[in-house]
Structures are given as C-alpha cells and as structure tokens.
Structure 1
Amino acid sequence: MFLYQHHRLYRHKILITSFLLPVILMTCYFAYRQMTPFGKSSLLTVDLGQQYVDFFSYLRNTLLHHPSSFFYSFSKGLGGEMFGTNAYYLLSPLNLILLFFPGQHLATGITIVTLVRYGLAGLSFAWLLQKTKLQQGWRILAFSTVYSMNGWMIANQLNMIWQDALIILPLIIWGLLKLIYQHKAGTYISWLAVMLVDNYYMGWMIAIFTLLFFLWQTPALANWRHRGVTFLRYLGGSLLAAGISAVVLLPTFYALMQSKGTYTETKIQSRFEYFVPKMLGKLVPGSFNFNQMPSGQPNIYIGMLLMLGACLYFFDTRFDLRRRLIGAGISIFFILSFCYEPLDLLWHAGQFPVWYPYRFSYLFSFWCIYLAAKVIQPDFKIKRRSAVILTLLIIAIYWYVGTLNLSYINSNQRNIGLCFALIAVCCLCIPLTNSPRLYDALLVLLAVCDIAMSGYTALNKISYVSQPEFGNYTVALDKAVNKLKKNDDGFYRVAKTFMRTKDDPFQADFNSGDHFGSTLEPPIPAFMGAIGQPDGDGFITYSNGTQVSDALLGYKYTMSTRNNSAGKNLPLSGYRPDWYSYPLVSTTPAVNIRENSHALPIAFGANTAILNLQRSTMDPLNYQSQIFQTLAGRPTFHSLFAVQNFSSVKFNNVQTAKQITGTIFRKQNLLKPASVQLEFIPPTNDSYYLTLGPNVEEDATITMNNKHFTQYNTFRNTVVINAAHDQKGKKVVINLQLKKATLWMQNVSIYQLKQRPFIASLRTLQKSPLKITSYSSNRISGTVTLHQKQRVLMTTIPASKGWHVKVDGKTATTRTVLNTFMAVPMTPGKHYVEFYYRPPLLILGLIITAISLGITSWWVKKQHQQKSLFD
C-alpha cells in the first residue's frame, strides 16, 4: 500500500512539474520583455490586440451585466448574431479567468490565461504519456515541455482562441485508444464533444486526425472483422460527439452559412502552393517572423532531438512493419497537406485561411512527438552507421537551408540549430545503462533548452502594443460611454471620430457601426460600402457619415476628442465638422459628447416604395439620398446632394486638366514631387462632402488645410468625407501629393447637402417613431402609430431569419429591404410591436443534443463491464 501511494505521489509530482516548467519558462520570457503585469508592454499584437481583446471584454459584459447579448448584440456592427461568433472565439472555459480583469487590466488577464494554457498543454501530454506508459519518470518532461512550446504554439500565441486544442487533443487520443483497445467509448465521445463546443474549427481538424490515428492502430487488431467492428464503434462515437455538441454546432453552422461560409472555395486547383523545399527552413529554431503570419510555411519545430526520434521510428525494427508503413503514409499526407492546395483546403474546411496558414500543423507536431516518445525509450541507442548517416543528412539540410535565403532565418539560428542537432545525435548514441538518471537529465535539458531558445527567438521578432497604449485608451473610452449611459439609458447608436480597433463597441459596451470578425454577414459591409463607409469582407467602420446617414441609422450621440493632447491616447479615424452644430451634452477629460436631434429611432414609419427600391447608382451620396427620399415618400430624382465645382486647381509637376474627376495625372518629371491642389470656398454654411475612390488613397498623400488627413485608410469603395460645415466664404484646401508616377482622380467630387429638403424629409419620417417600452439585446417592444402614407415599419436592424416579429400579439411577416434591413408591412394606425431574436436551429440542436446524450449514456453503461486489453 505504501509503495503504491509513493508511486502515485511520484507520478503526481511529474504531472505538476510538467505544468509548471513551461509556465516558468514563459513567465521568465514575459518578464524579460516586460509584459504586463511585469512591465509596460503587453501580449497584444495583430488579431489579439485588434480583435480578440475586445471580444473578451464583450464576454465579460455579457456574463456579468446582460446575458441576452450572448445570442445577439447591437455592438456587432449595426447588429448581428453572436452565437456563431461565440462558438468560434469565446467558448473556452479558460476565458472565465478574464472575469477578474476588467477594463484596462484585461491585458494582464490575457497574460495569465496564456501562461495557464502553456502549462495545461504540458500537463495534458504528460498525462497521456503516463496513461499509455510510453514514457515514465522525469524524462516525460522532455516530451511534455516540447509539446507545450512547439513552433505552432509559439507562432499562434496571439491566437488564444485555438490553443485549447493542444490541451484537449491528448485527452481525445487517450479516449480513442480506450475505444480501440478497451471498447470503452465514453472518454473519446466526451472529450471530442468538448473540443467541438470549445472551438468547432480546431475540432474539425482533430476529427480528421483521429481517423488517421485510428488507421495507424488497425494492424494491432486481431482480424478484419474486429477492425470493422472497431471502426463502426469509432464512427458511432464520433457521430455521438457531434450530436452532443449539436446545440452549438447547428446554430453556428447556420450563422457560418450566412457569413464566413459564403467565401468557401468552389473551384479547387491541383497545384503546389510554394516551392516545397522551403519547408525545410522550419527545421531551424526560431524560424518565424511577422511576414510568416499572412503567408508562410507550417510551424512544426519540436526541437532536433524529438524530430530525429520521430524520423527513426520508420526504420526501427522493434515496431510492426505494417504500422510503420501506415505511419509513413500519414506523415507523407501531412507533408503534402502543407503544400498541396486540395489537402490544405480539406483541413481548413474548404476555405483558404486569411493569415495564419496551415493552422492544423500542431497535429503534425503532436504526431512527431508521439512517435519520438515511442522510439526514445530507456533501452534505445542508434547504431554508429545510422548516426553517421543522420549527421551527414543534417549537415546537408542546414547547408541547403542557407542557400534558400529565407528572411526569417539568419546564420546564427542555423548554427545554433546545427549544434542542437549534432548534440542530439550524440545524445542518442549514449548508452543509458551507464547512468540512467544523468541520461534522463541530459535528455530533458537538451529538449527544453532547444525548444525554449526557439520560442524566445521567434517571439523576439514580433512587436506588441504597450500596456499604456491599451489601458489609457480603454479608460478614456469607458469614461465617455459610462457618462453617456448615466444620462440616457435608452436604445441608441453612438458614432465617434477616434478608434483603437474596429471592435471598440465590444470593448466599452455600446451600440455603433464598427466591427471586425469572421462571422460578419456579407450584406452589412456591402451596404456600408454603398453609402461611403470603409468596409471589407470581415469588417466595417462608421467613420465617414453624413447628416443623412447619421439620421437614418439612428446615431443619437457623437463622440470626438476634446483637444490635440487627447488625440495621443485616442487615435483619430475621421473628420466631422458638421457635428459642431449638434449641442454639447456632456464631456470627459478627453471626449466631447454631442446629441443629434435628427437621429431616427431603430424603427419608424415609412413609405411602401422602400420595399422595392433597388440600388441604381454607385455614387454613395446619391444612394443615401435615394434611400432617404424613398422612405419619406418623395421623388428620388430630387437629390439631397448637389455637385459643386472646385474654386480653383493648382497643378504641380503634372499636366493641367479642365475636368478633375476621372482624370489620370502623370508626373512630368519623375524625380521631383508632384501634386494636385484643390481649393473650394463654400458659398453657404451647409455641410459639404468630398468623395474619394479607393485608388486615390493608395496613390496619394492627402492633406486638408495643411493638416494630416484623418481618414481610416483601408477601404474598397468610394468613401465620403465631411470637408466643411458652417464655413461660408472660408477657403478649404485639399492637397493630393502623388506617391507614384500616376494618380487616378477616381470619383473625386465635392457635394453640398441641401439642408431644407433634408429636414423636410426628416420631419416626415419623425412623425411615426417606434416608442420603445422595453428592450434587451435580443428583444425590443414598443408602440408605433403609422400615418396613411406609411404602411411599412422600417427598421435599421439587419435582416435575419432569427428575428421574429409580433404586431398586436399576432405573428407578422417581415421583408428585407435594401438587401440589408428588416421591414414590417403594416396597416395605418396604432400598433404594439414586439421584436425578438432566437438563433435559427437552436431548438433542433437542443433536441439532437438531448437524444445524443441519452444514447451515449446507454452505450457507456452497456460497455462498462467489458474487459480491457490494457488491464
């Protein structure tokens, strides 16, 4: 009994150390780089700093303040479903740790959660090695630490949403082994279901890998009949895991089909994606830099010792030849997947990754480390001839990598990697019998030093957002939003002319028109781009509004910086002098808050002509006018915007032209600066708006009145910029300096907003507002009185099958208008209207989950008494 307890304590010590060792190693690095809480830097970089951190703030607000936004949120652009967003980004249980880190301290919470994930990955793999008895004793730390800090984990440290896969994968594999050899499916089903709920994207990749791993195990089964029965058991377990997670998967699948799924590749080319030998560069420690994020080779570094161990598996006669051949086939399949387009798309569910290529490469790292753990046993020693061949091969590979001139590898990295590789060969030549403990210590030391050096080198090549940059902005934004909420607890949208990220509304918990995320529905950026806002396949930002779009979309409040010093903490993203006519209602040390009395509510009475309006112009201001006039029941040919002529134009080192819009200006002397200067003197105090095509921003540096042009610079459609307001007789100078040899003045025009017809149409629309009596993120109710010519309740809620409407207690049919928004045909008179959102397929998913849980429970009980081949 005493020996058993002693052995159990010994195993627990190893597991605890397998958790602590990677945590200590990464903590030392974070402290060295002064990552918060150790200094003024942070882990925030690229998507973690521009997207995920804001989603984590949204999760805190949802769980602590308004749970209804778990299904739908008006902080997601103009409004959007959140079930699919949560399933992709936020369902990891480890994110609950972030509940203890509000606002500016969220970056500290991210550091702690990242360290916990490193530790749990090491612990999970160590646990698998102990359960399978592949390795015993302290030598386990060599494999568990390398697994937790492999090249994929380091390169994707910023992609926290995927890292749980490394923690859960060993548990799934243990469950699969139990299913194959013990006929017990419960562990496999449970952990695969957990993975699919935690992150379905990584779960899909792991599901493919379990099939490969199952095939590798089949030669150990007695006969073909046994293999067939076991495969059916594996298939049934996999389907039940998917069934248990159906409550998440089905609504998420629907959401993806409306958003990210619309970009799935329909034409697959049989081609290699790059020069395949470049992959050898990833056998060098620290083979990573920023340029590898958007496009690069798979991150597969696991240290030279374990990579050699994995390679030796295929030549080790201690193992069954059939399994070695299948293992070789699996390895070749992985390598082809890293460069052959059809296989790459298979792992990524039919979509090319936008940045972070070969996201499944962590599975190859697991595979190689697992093979190495089988090979590098206490009794293993390579033959002298094999050692010589390995040495020559290593030298040849490192020499060849040097000839490739890869930007992410320098000579020091190659030399250090070569030294580690040669030491690894020597280590494999040492007979264990001389000093087992010393050998194990050498094994651990070599593996840990190798992988730690690689990780540190790779991370040193990445820059990060400073903690003050994140914290000061968050504090300033939170102060402004909280002050606004104290003064008005109603439902409204807020526009602003400063921005840290496009997910600021998630960070500070307010409704706006900005968002960056993979589950953004395509009609939303299409609409925003059509009215002159910056947009892309996965983002929108409301930084180029007009008085018309402010009113239409219900921007009741605006926020702008108070002074130039505030702009250092609040980076500018737009220019709106027309806001100065709105009354100032509140201030904070950094922000001015103004109220827009022209803002329409989320729903209002409108003319039925809006149901049939089709976009007939590519001019964003004309389109805004068409929408507004149609809603008000006025002729669309009476545009609210009038084209104005520039007062004068100055040409510097380019040819002259009578017409500006559409002209291609060319440098006359390529060696000298060239520019086109547009001068405009407003004849009235109305608002004036400048339109610019996307090519203009790419080809010219723009200033307005000799000041830097504060414009969000990523857009693919013509944008609208507020050039002047209340500036009658004051010159406005717009200077476009050529960046290249030519400049196409794409859609460069100036427009005047005709204030009187705008106000007249606005008054018509303000006659029938929805008076909200209660609201939450997924439910809005209120009363509306429609007049005779207003037989449609127009909303600026994006149309979705998840929205349901009741009018006077009866279910109403909705229509999609402008290919974007929901509208409800109604009769004139007073009505009580209720909108509520339920994720499509949620009920069906709940039913399938309940049935799958019942079947799994019955199956596990039935198999509980079966004998184990491991026992």
Structure 2
Amino acid sequence: MQFHNRRWHLSPRQFTLLGAFLTPFILMTAYFIYRQMSPFGSSSLLTVDLGQQYIDFFAYMRRALLHDPSSIFYSFANGLGGEMLGTWAYYLLSPLNWILLLCPGASLTTGVFFLTVIKYGLAGLAFAWLLLKTTQQSGLKAITLATAYALMGWSIANQLNIMWLDAAYLLPLVFYGVYLLMTTGKWRTYVVWLALSLIVNYYMAYMICLFMILTFIFLAVDRYTTWGNLFKQAGNFAWTSITAGLLAAMVLLPTWWSLAQSKAQYTVTSFKWKFEFFPPKMLAKFFLGAFNFDQMPDGTANLFIGAIALLGALFYFSNRAIALRTRLTAGIITVVLALSLCLQPLDLLWHAGQFPVWYPYRFSFIVSFWLIWLAAQALTDDFEPGWLAIAMVTVIVVAGAAYVALNLKQFKFLQMNQVLLGMFFVVMALVLTTLPIKHHWIYPLLFFVIGVTEISANAFTSLNNISYVSQGEYGNYTNELQRLVNPVQKKDHGFYRIGKTFMRTKGDAFQTGFNGGGVFSSVLPKAVPTFYGNTGNPDGDGFVAYSNGTLVTDALLNMKYYFQDKPLSGALSGSSMLPATANKADLADYDPVGTDHWATTYKNPYALPLGYAADSQILSLKNKTADPAQYQANWLAALTGNSADKRLYTAENFDQVTFNNINQQTKITGAILQKKNLLKPGSITLTIKPTTNDPYYLTFGSTVNPDNATFVLNGKALNQYKTYRNTILVSAADHAKGQTIKLTINLKKGSLWLENFTLYRLNTGTFKTAIAQLKQHPWQLSKHTSRYFSGQITTTKAGEVLNTSIPYSSGWHATVNGKAAKTYKTLNMFTALKLPKGRNTVTLSYWPPLLNLGLLISGLTLIVLTGGWWLSHRRH
C-alpha cells in the first residue's frame, strides 16, 4: 500500500512502521484524554506504585541531573541515606526518562503521560520492524499484530510499572538480533540490543535472556543443517551473549552489589514441585477486560492478545507449510512457557528466585510476544487452513470458553457479557482467517478493524477498573511541601534531616529534595527496616516510614526541623491537603520557626550534628531487647558511656481503666480483650494525669493496629501510619502536667490482643544531660555534598570515636588527618571511626562498590569490539 501526496509519499515499509507506532499511541492518548489525565484534565496516571513510589524517583532523577549531580551515586533522601545506583538500574536508566526533565514540580504527571504513550507506540514500532524482517506480514495486517502486541494484556495491567514497559519494545529487537545471528552470522545487532536491555532494566532483561535461550533452541532446530554448523551457532550465541553482559558490566556489577545488600537477601532457597493453581484458570485471561485491581496482588498471568492472534497461534501448529520439526519445537517451547505460568519452580526461575510481591507472572509479556509472533508466521496471505485444522481450533476455543463460562463465579474480574463478546470476536476472526478472500483489498482492512477494535476494547475496559490519583491531590500536596522545605533550606545550609507528621508517600523527601527518613524501594538494604523496627518506627521488606520519632531518635538522627500539619476546624475539618500520619505531642519541646495556612515548622534544639565524639561502647553494642524504648535508651547509654542512661524510659501505670462490653482485666500489657456481646460495640478507656511535664509514649504491638481497632486520644482520632509489623512508639502527651489524658480503644472485631501495650515516661532531665554531653565535641563540617563530608573534630579522651548517623556501606571511604582510616558499623546500621586524642581532620567520601571494575570491563570490551571491527573493516 502506498500513500501519495504532492510533496511526499510513504513506501509500504514506512507506512507499516508509522502505522504501528501511531495506532497504539493515538488509541491510548485518546483514552487518557477521555479519562481527563493531566495535562488534559483533573486526573493523572498515578496509581498504586506509580503514584506511591516511582513518581518520587522521577522527581529525584530530575533534581540529581539538573541541580545536584553529587546525589547521583548517594542520596540522603533515600531513607536516612543510601546508595542510588541500584535505584537507577531498576527504575531510572530508560533513555526515554529524559522527557521528564522538561516537566518540573507538579507537571511531572504530564511527563509520565507522554512517557507512557510513547512506550506503547515504540512497542508497536519494534514489533512491526520484527515482522517486516522475519515474516511475510506488512501493511494493515502487520499494524494490527503490532498493536495487539503493544496493547497486550500484560502492557495494560502493568502500565503503572512504567519502567517495565521498556522491555516491550526491546524484546523484539533482541529477538531480531538472535534471528540475524542464526541466519546470517551477523552479531552486532544482538550484542547491542541485549547490552542496552541489560543497562535499561536488568530485571526484565534477565527474563529476556532466559527467553533468548528458548529462541536459540527454536531457531537452531528450524535452521539445522549439520552438527558442525549447530556447534558453531551455539558458540556464536554463547560468546555474543557474554559480550553483551560484559558491555553492561558498568551497571550490572554495582547493581549486583546493591542487590546483595537488599533484594537478594529475600531469595527463596527451597520450593515445591506443585501447581500454584488449577492451570485451566489461565484461560479466563484470554478474554477482553479480564483485569481489575484485585488481580494486581495475586492474580493469574495477563495473557490477552486478541482473537486473531490467538487463533493464528493455534493455526501455526497445523500449518504444513512450516516444517514439522519446527512446529514440534515451537510446541515444546509453548508448553514450557505455559507451565511457567502455573508451576512453582519455573515461576521462581523466571523471577530470579523470588516470589513477586504484587504483580505476579511478570514475564507473561514474553508468552504474549511468542504467541503473536507464531500467529504472524501462520496468517500469511497464502494460508488456507484445512477443515480438520479449522475443526480442531474451533473445538479448543469452544472448550476453553465453555470452561470459563461454566466456572464464571471463580473469575471475579469477568462477566458473562465479556465472555460472549470475546466469543463474538473469535467467530469474526475465525471467519476472517478461513475464508478465501485474503488477496482481496478488503481483507487487510477487515483484519485491522476487527483486530484493533477488540484490542482497544480490552485496554479501555481493563483500565476503567482502575482508579487514579487526582492531579490536585498530587500537585497541591507537592507544592505545599515544597513551600515548607524551601525557606528552611534557604536559611540553613548545614547538613540536617527533616521530619514531618504527614505523608503522601514514603518518598516525599525525593519528591521535594530534602534529607528525610522514609523510603519505598525494591532495593532497600535489609539492615534499614530492621533498624526502624528496633526503634519503634513502621517498617517492611521494601519500605520504612519515620512517622514515630521520639525526642531521642529525633536528636540522634539529626532531625533538626519538623513540619506539623495544622488541624482545620469548622467546615474544613478533616480536609487538609496534608494527610496526617503521626501524633507528635513531643513537638511541645521544639521551637516554632515558621507557619502557613496548612502547617507549622519547628526547630529541634536537641538535634545532634551529623557526627560527634562518643564513647567507644557504641562499637560493641548488640541489640538484646525487642522493646523500642529500651533499645533507644541502650543506644544513648552506649554513646555517652553512662550506664544510668539505660533507665531513660520508665514504665507508668494508668490512673484509671474502664471497660465497655469487655471482660475486666487486671493487667493491661499483653491482655486479650474479649467482647461480652459480639453484636454490641466494645471499648476500653485508659486515663492518666501526668505529674510531670515529661513526654509520655505508648508502645503498640503489631496486633494493636487500625485493622483491629480505632484509637481516640483526648476526643480526636489518633493519627498513625497504618502498616507496621513490629512494636511502635506513639507520642501521647508532653508538657501536660495535671491534665487528664484519655485514650479510648474501640474494638473492630470480637477480641483484641494488647501486644506490647505499655505507657512510658521519658526522663527529660536525663535526656537533656546526655544530649548536652554529646554536643560538646561536634564534627564541624567545612564542606559537604551528598557523597562527601570534610571537617574537624576534637576529642579529649583516648579511645573516643566519631559517631555518625550516616548509614554504613563499604562504599564510604574515610581519612583521618590525611591517612586512610577504617570505618566501623554501629547498631548494624551506622558508620563510626576511631580517633586519636586531640584535633582531627576527618573526611568521608562515597564511591559505588564495583563501579570501577564494571567501567574497566565495559571499556575493555568496547575497545576490543571496536578494534576487531576496525581490523575487519581494513581487511575488507
């Protein structure tokens, strides 16, 4: 097909490629405009992890590249501080992310919009390129199959995992590289695209690498001539694959180190040979719209590719124009892929030995790619299926649809009208692929209309099941937090951290560029959540939230400033744009230094500097308690060397406890509250009248949580971050001498275990004395960036250490008075150095472990390849 114009014309090849890019691009752009996504309305594409995690990393990337290059390798917005190459490698190395540099502040959602639709378009373009190179498909038929690939069920379901979408356009290019290697011996295409895939997203590239092994087997059988030639092809495949890995070593090696501290520590080492569910359940995912929110945490694989591609894949195996050995090999590979979607050991293999936390069967894009590529091989203009083939395909499809229809109650994401609509498209596709009209001009048009209509219907129906963050919710919060951060940073150029009593995401510090205390990341070192759990703050395998800081942790962690949301009254009550996640009565000990309509800024007079002289006991302190209050006291006592500081917290009794529809208890801590009448509300009210102005804290065990009870403190709902798996510390009162403090716990269920439920009083006098001692000899910084600190510190006793709140890493290198010095790990978390008595100049600088080795390997590999090419070129 040619398109003529006076000024230009498109060749059939250009028409196919342009159409394959524009069709998914325009379809999804139109849908997003209809859903009023920013910049075309009041909504945004932010949902689940894209809204809670990735958007913060995108904001960090902009700031790092445009304003703070020192934070590229290390950032103190990453929890209390952490290396960033692992984050770059998993989330940020897509070259398309540079689009986001054009979108500052709240307009970042606009960048996400264009990033998403461009990736859809590129997936279609890359697949069409592959079809033109390896099949007889072109024109509208190729555009239809490319659109089926670009908008397959996997892409729609994982649209929010935007960094994975790069795999969709890279896979066809890597596949073509192997195809070229096996058919012509040319290796550069494969090496370049595989290396790029490993650099852009090593996680999805790992899955692509596994599939390339299957691809090699398929093409080796298909192209088999002699054993000698087969061994030669195997050798070529092996050395080119290794070469691609060596080219990507500059990313892979430091990333491997990062994973060894974090995600790799959760690898499953034992498994069972069992099916994860009844395999035929997968069939439901071939129907359009077979996706909703509940499928994200633990659903079956997303396999929708449209009726035409599905029938084409089935017809492939009956196509006698294709060699029997090739079809048999394709059948074996298809069975292996199908088993991978339901058999536990194979599922684990594709996910690098870890069960996915949400978004299961992440490799199903490979299954969809394989099926659509097989369909493209079969559905040529010369394909005329026999009656037996038509009958067999019809029986398979009808049997599958019947199973789904008869068991519809098992599939909450599917309704009968979707099944009937799916069968309608199957009938249309079956008629289209079997009637002898393939050489008529109307055939490709019908192919396109039927195929793209079904593909579009699936995308729109599936995405209609998902809710999104409004642009106002994201933009207003981000702008207000930035308004709070900017004045603090303008006045105070030192190193400090900022805490807050509200949260949109745990990565707020990345979003607005300050040193915080929370993070949500798949590459979070395991030691970090362990430390947060010990100190009484919420933690999980991939996140930490500094929502339960005390005077002690605020001081020791350099939380110099604090933002507190203002409670709005009257008609605006409960409508703050700053969602409260902490009750922090102990802010009464801090000094208010700024305020606006939404929040107040406090300065912490007890905040310790980043580093200071401390007793060497901190080097040998081991955690021997599960009580966060005692843990904090032991921590402080080890720093001061004063054992009396271990009695920093005192357990207190409540003055009065009243029970409503609950059996009386003589002891509160550890009690199991039981409702007398399950049909009536049950509650317990605890009252205390403090006799001092000291801060009071409550410990809540993991069972004392918002899922099991509601908490009302002095007539107001107790604000608390909801997810925690260890005992947390909750600030209950401060400067409240003589005032009545009342906590009411309303049971949501028939019973409640008051696990680790204790009231503590912090001895302010002991605390102030200890902090004053630690402040006497600070590390006075003369220069600091995100990865470099230099300053002087004076020690008055032999054996003292420079204790810092910099998380420990082998990437930190220290010098004391110009000589290299050993770093020590404290609390299995922080960095310390031994110092000689007197005045010392100390520097700490960070460089990612294994980065130099990776750069060396990648550089040498590139030199060898370039030199080999140059010699070969001269010879010819």
TM range (shorter): over 0.9
Describe the shift of the 1:164–1:260 C-alpha distance in structure 2 as closer, same or farther (beyond 3 A).
Answer: same
Q: How far apart, CA to CA, are the structure 1 residues paired with 2:414 and 2:874? A: 55
Shift of 1:395: 2.5
Residue 721 of structure 2 aligns to a residue whose secondary structure is: coil
Query: What is the 5 A alignment of 1:313-332?
Result: 313-332=316-335
Question: Deviation of residue 866 (structure 1)?
Answer: 12
> 2 CA distance for matches of 1:636 and 1:20?
72
Which secondary structure state, in structure 2, belongs to the residue aligned with residue 350 of structure 1? Answer: coil
1: CA distance, partners of 2:403 / 2:646:
70
1:452-467 equivalent positions in 2, closer than 5 A: 452-467=456-471
Please tell me whether the aligned partners of residues 148 and 305 of structure 2 are also in contact (alpha carbons under 8 angstroms): yes
1:601 corresponds in structure 2 to: 609
The CA deviation at 1:853 is 1.1
Shift of 1:46: 0.5
SS in structure 2 at match of 1:734: strand
CA distance in 2, matches of 1:298, 1:855: 42
- Match of 1:773, SS? strand
The one of 732, 751, 773 equivalent to 1:764 is 773
Displacement after TM superposition at 1:477 (Å) = 0.6
Which AA in structure 2 matches 1:357?
A: P
The 8 Å contact of residues 315 and 389 in structure 2, kept in 1 or not, is answered as no
- Percent identical among aligned pairs is 44
Tell me whether 596-605 or 632-641 shows the greater mean CA deviation.
632-641
Question: For residues 133-152 of structure 1, what are the structure 2 equivalents within 5 Å?
Answer: 133-152=135-154
Structure 2 SS opposite 1:436 = coil
Taking the TM superposition and a 5 Å limit, the aligned residue runs for 1:735-754 are 735-754=744-763
Identify the residue that residue 253 of structure 2 maps to in structure 1: 250
Aligned twin of 2:503: 499
Task: Tell me if 1:554 matches 2:558.
Answer: yes
1:429 aligns with 434
Contact 1:681 1:728 in 2 (8 A): yes
Q: CA deviation at 1:137?
A: 2.4
**Secondary structure at 2:743's aligned position in 1?**
strand
Which aligned pairs between 1:342-741 and structure 2 lie closer than 5 A? 342-404=345-407, 405=409, 406-432=411-437, 436-564=440-568, 565=572, 568-636=576-644, 638-697=646-705, 698-741=707-750
Measured at CA, do residues 513 and 481 of structure 1 come closer, stay the same or move farther in structure 2, by a change above 3 Å? same
- Could you tell which deviates more after superposition, 298-307 or 126-135? 126-135
Q: Structure 1 residues 328 and 842 mapped into 2: Cα distance closer, same or farther (>3 Å)?
A: same
Contact residue 645 and residue 766 of structure 2 kept, 8 A: no
Kindly state the Cα deviation for residue 588 of structure 1 after the two structures are TM-superposed. Answer: 3.3
Q: CA deviation at 1:563?
A: 3.8
CA distance in structure 2 between the partners assigned to 1:591 and 1:637 by the alignment: 34
The separation in 1 between residues aligned to 2:467 and 2:389, in whole angstroms, is: 42
Q: Relative to structure 1, is the Cα distance of residues 48 and 757 closer, same or farther in structure 2, using a 3 angstrom cutoff?
A: same
* Corresponding residue of 2:106: 104
SS at match of 2:257: helix
Q: Which residue of 792, 803, 806 corresponds with 2:812?
A: 803
Contact (CA 8 Å) 1:679, 1:734: kept in 2 or not? yes
Cα distance, 1:419 vs structure 2: 0.4
Q: 1:203 is matched with which residue? A: 205
SS of residue matched to 1:393:
helix
Q: 1:454 to 1:63 in 2, by over 3 A?
A: same
Question: Using the alignment, how far apart are the partners of 2:522 and 2:632 within structure 1?
Answer: 27
- 2:435 counterpart letter in structure 1: I
* Offset at residue 817 of structure 1 (A): 1.0
Q: Secondary structure at the match of 1:569?
A: coil
Go from structure 1 to structure 2 and tell me whether the alpha carbon gap of 1:224 and 1:755 turns closer, same or farther (over 3 Å shift): same
Matched-pair contact (CA < 8 Å) for 1:183–1:866: no
2 CA distance for matches of 1:234 and 1:29?
Answer: 42
Q: CA deviation at 1:447?
A: 1.0
User: Which residue, out of 18, 22, 25, partners 2:24?
Assistant: 22
Alignment of 1:74-223 (within 5 A): 74-219=76-221, 220-223=223-226
Amino acid at match of 1:66: D
Question: What is the CA RMSD across the aligned residues, in angstroms?
Answer: 1.8
Once the two structures are superposed, residues 256-299 of structure 1 have per-residue CA deviations (whole angstroms, 9 ceiling, x without a partner) of: 00101000111121111111111111111111111111111111
Q: Does the Cα contact within 8 Å between 1:556 and 1:599 map onto a contact in 2?
A: yes
Aligned to 1:305: 308
* Shift in Å, 1:231: 1.0
- Distance (whole Å) between structure 2 residues aligned to residue 357 and residue 313 of structure 1: 28
Question: Does the Cα contact within 8 Å between 1:240 and 1:856 map onto a contact in 2?
Answer: no
**Alpha-carbon contact 2:135-2:376 (below 8 Å) kept:** no
For residues 688-711 of structure 1, give each alpha carbon's deviation from its aligned partner in whole angstroms, at most 9, with x where no partner exists. Answer: 111110101142211111211100
CA distance in structure 1 between the aligned counterparts of 2:105 and 2:799, rounded to whole angstroms = 45
Quick check: 1:606–1:790 contact (8 Å CA) kept in 2?
Answer: no
Residue 170 of structure 1 deviates from its aligned partner by 1.2
Query: 2: distance between equivalents of 1:744 and 1:305?
Result: 56
Deviation at 1:858, TM superposition (A): 4.1
Comparing 252-261 with 677-686, greater Cα deviation is found at 677-686
SS of 2:576's equivalent? helix
Q: Give yes or no for contact 1:305–1:447 (8 Å, CA) kept in 2.
A: yes
In structure 1, give the amino acid aligned to 2:638.
Answer: T
Deviations 1:684-732 (A, max 9, x none): 1111111110101142211111211100010011100110011111111
Structure 2 SS opposite 1:622: helix
TM superposition shift of 1:8: 6.6
Using the alignment, how far apart are the partners of 2:627 and 2:486 within structure 1?
A: 37
Listed one character per residue, the Cα deviations across residues 5-59 of structure 1 (whole Å, up to 9, x for unaligned) are 9997332132112111111111111111111112111110000000000000000
Question: 1:58 corresponds to which residue?
Answer: 60
Which AA in structure 1 matches 2:860?
A: I
- Cα deviation, residue 581, structure 1: 2.9
Q: What is the CA-CA distance between 1:631 and the residue it aligns to? A: 0.3
Whole-angstrom CA distance in 2 between matches of 1:685 and 1:6: 82
Change (3 A) 1:91 1:638: closer
Q: Shift of residue 856 of structure 1?
A: 2.4
Return the match for 1:67 from 66, 69, 74: 69
Distance 2:659 2:547 in 1: 30
1:547, distance to aligned residue in structure 2 (A): 0.5
1:820 aligns with 2:822: no
* Contact 1:186–1:856 (CA under 8 A) maintained in structure 2: no
CA displacement at 1:862 relative to structure 2: 6.5
**Residue 674 (structure 1) shift:** 0.7
Instruction: Give structure 1 stretches of 5+ with no counterpart.
Output: none
1:122-171: CA deviations, max 9, x gaps? 11111111222431223211111111000000000000011001111111
Distance 1:289 1:356 in 2: 12
Q: How high is the TM-score relative to the length of structure 2? A: 0.97
What are the Cα deviations for residues 163-189 of structure 1, in whole angstroms up to 9, with x where unaligned? 001111111111111111111111100
The letter for the 1-side match of 2:160 is: L
Structure 1's 813 and 296: CA in aligned 2 closer, same or farther, altered over 3 A? Answer: same
Distance 1:627 1:528 in 2: 13
String of CA shifts for 1:221-255, please: whole Å, max 9, x gaps: 32111011011111100000000000000000000
- Which range moves more in the overlay, 47-56 or 564-573? 564-573
Distance 1:152 1:862 in 2: 44
